[in-house]
Structure 1
């Protein structure tokens, strides 16, 4: 038996078992949740049956679905006749499934098909006779699609996960696998997002090639258990990202102006440290040493404003800064071997600082694209907080050429940013950027753009340049002392 059919049969058996449990409860008392659950099961089995070619089962479940929908929206009164018809319809459905598994005689299948048609006609008459006259004037509402029937339910799971499913190339039909995935989701939680909509299961949409499927779910299940639930046939691999608040809190970014003070203080201190030449004897005035000590204490105090994940950075910075102060003071307890490694440690701290702050504050980054480069750049600059931006990096690695007008616009933008104390750096990385680099080389006598192979190189170049250092230092004072 084809594995896809096997999956369908197993999942349908499980859903019919759940349907029976609903109907047993409904025999005792009416429950809107059980009616809704029965409707969803009939809707799902209808869709999956049509997908695998079992039209007879799909048609019967469609008629049961219609009856349950009328009971849900109140156009027919609920009574035990509905439960009885559902029991009879599901019993025939089980017989049809058994026939398809065991390939019984044609006479038996004909008898089952006649029973299915009888139930379909009975349900049609039941709906027509019992439907309230007033309901005829009510505008017909489109039934929810397969995906919609899973979405929109209350979600109160303690965990939230973003899951991507990658399908095998030889998958014969994707739609049934999607349905199996959704059924697994319902077992453990609630569907919050689906990259595939209802329209995928209508018309020819389900025949479209689909290499991945993405969902967001809310569940109490631990991430380690998810791999067992989603080990489905024809799923080659999955990728799970934990979106739970407890895991995302360290990534929270505050837009409060006051929270930027610690980063401005660190920027100034890192610039000063990077300019020290440890290969020669370091002579610092008492004022310069006092400034370093003040920076260390200020950063230690301001570190309380930083997100939790940045604590280690501030501690490492304070430790290194204090070691360098000892070295500059000529303290005997300074480890000379450590001192020789100061420049590398400073660069590592600068790189970590960039990773924490890039795009958020202090350092802004813009990735150029081939289409509408300058228009996108101007739009970005219009939204950028120029008060709290000190270094602006333009990554042109994706470009292959710059025309004359784009070069003129870049020169104008550079001058505008520098007038506001913002240092401009150009990043061109990769084997295909030689033409871009040549363009900037050719205009350096008109306007000099510092072109670097990476973002960190561009930042270090700004720290080393006297003009850049003075520009950034002045802006730091303006921000700190207002």
Structure 2
């Protein structure tokens, strides 16, 4: 062993023994002599640890030194928490030195180093939380503009994340934890947004209740590494949302460049598949199977240029599965059992649900959520803004309504007929324990005007795809678009 390292171990062990004796006395009564001795020991071990390259030990001793310095100059009151933190800090220091000296496992050394970092953070929080108000105010004035200075930096990193930090209930003071988070940000990237501003760090703001803290971070660090970087004391959990352009591009919506022809081909394909009704033993004819094959090939050709999109690839694979099952069902020699039929129905429902969640409001399907107040007037405004050329199905979610009056029914009949004149199919969604009366109303007027009422958006789409008039309606709509 290097003589200097050997000397370091011997001196540190001796000083740690003296420190322990000081703390035992301080547990009984306060002594300025013992506080000064502890400060000197922490200061010496800090310096010698950095000198031999043991930064983890040096950083911990540095923070304990700061706490003891505040206690001896009166900027924080001396109490048993200081003794406890010193005991914890010196105990973990003894363990780290023992494992370093005996070349213990790297995993154990790293685990001890992590524990030392947590004690360092807790000590920092203790210092900030217990400083006298005048001292804190003076310190914070010198650090004015913490958030502004972070936000002022330019960023050109490849990743962008929205991160929410949720704090533990027993946190005594949040501003030191925010400072530690901001220090972590500075080490790995650039702060783009902060849900608190500079005013939070003044004398009054730091006492405000803050259950969580939001930031937007620009960084080259990958998401998987962020959790370790933000392992900060008193943060109970964090939530990370990747806002990087490469990750969100697939959700882009082009207002003018939608492909109505492709949408119609897909709708016609789904209508053909929905014609299969195993409960009624309705199968597709040979002509319908040939038509389905043609439609399936058209969909593949039309989407060929979009194959780099993950969602498109998944869509084509799921559609292929349904297509193959329909063909197999047609083959009289390979008619499957009831489990096969149930599997087809489940796959069809799952396919519609996935597609519905991806396209609603953007392509083919538009949806409006009715509110209890002025829902008809808001509905008219919404329909007025809606792009009717690219929409084939319009759903009204009435789950929040308890009752629909006579005038609203008349208005809805007029709106339904207006949409049908544009070859747009209307469906209603009524889900929940309080909508039974709403469903009864639409059942009672069925002889005057029939409304499709469903329990969910997916059920509504399936009903419309199976309805008699929908194929005629989209064919008319396509003819009108082609004429234009």
TM range (shorter): 0.5 to 0.7
SS in 2 for 1:257: coil
Unaligned runs of 5+ in 2: 1-59, 67-123
Number of matched pairs? 361
Query: Contact between 2:194 and 2:216, CA under 8 Å: does it hold in 1?
Result: yes
Q: C-alpha offsets along residues 210-231 of structure 1, whole Å, 9 cap, x if unaligned?
A: 2222111011122222222222
**Partners of 1:10 and 1:371 in 2: how far apart?**
59
Correspondence for 1:429: 431
Query: Contact between 2:136 and 2:203, CA under 8 Å: does it hold in 1?
Result: no
Correspondence for 2:319: 317
In the TM superposition, what are the counterparts of 1:92-171 in structure 2 within 5 Å? Answer: 145-171=145-171
Q: C-alpha offsets along residues 399-438 of structure 1, whole Å, 9 cap, x if unaligned?
A: 3344444444333322221211111111122223234333
SS in 1 for 2:259: helix
Query: Contact between 2:159 and 2:243, CA under 8 Å: does it hold in 1?
Result: yes
Distance 1:223 1:258, change over 3 A: closer
Q: Tell me, yes or no, if structure 1 residue 55 matches structure 2 residue 134.
A: yes
TM-score after normalising by structure 2: 0.65
Of 203-212 and 181-190, the range deviating more from structure 2: 203-212
Correspondence for 1:220: 220
SS in 1 for 2:434: coil
Q: Tell me, yes or no, if structure 1 residue 190 matches structure 2 residue 190.
A: yes
The offset of 1:260, in angstroms, is: 4.2
The offset of 1:11, in angstroms, is: 12
Query: Contact between 1:270 and 1:346, CA under 8 Å: does it hold in 2?
Result: no
**Partners of 2:408 and 2:199 in 1: how far apart?**
43
Unaligned runs of 5+ in 1: 1-6, 14-44, 66-143
Query: Contact between 1:50 and 1:58, CA under 8 Å: does it hold in 2?
Result: no
Query: Contact between 1:274 and 1:347, CA under 8 Å: does it hold in 2?
Result: no
The offset of 1:253, in angstroms, is: 3.2
SS in 2 for 1:247: helix
The offset of 1:50, in angstroms, is: 9.8
**Partners of 1:51 and 1:255 in 2: how far apart?**
57
**Partners of 2:231 and 2:328 in 1: how far apart?**
58
Correspondence for 1:394: 396
Residue from 352, 365, 368 that aligns with 2:367: 365
Q: Tell me, yes or no, if structure 1 residue 275 matches structure 2 residue 354.
A: no
Residue from 392, 413, 422 that aligns with 1:411: 413
TM-score after normalising by structure 1: 0.65
**Partners of 2:145 and 2:130 in 1: how far apart?**
14
The offset of 1:191, in angstroms, is: 0.9
**Partners of 1:209 and 1:372 in 2: how far apart?**
37
SS in 1 for 2:156: coil
Q: What RMSD in Å do the two structures reach over aligned CA positions? A: 3.4
Q: C-alpha offsets along residues 385-405 of structure 1, whole Å, 9 cap, x if unaligned?
A: 111111111112233344444
**Partners of 1:366 and 1:281 in 2: how far apart?**
34
The offset of 1:352, in angstroms, is: 2.7
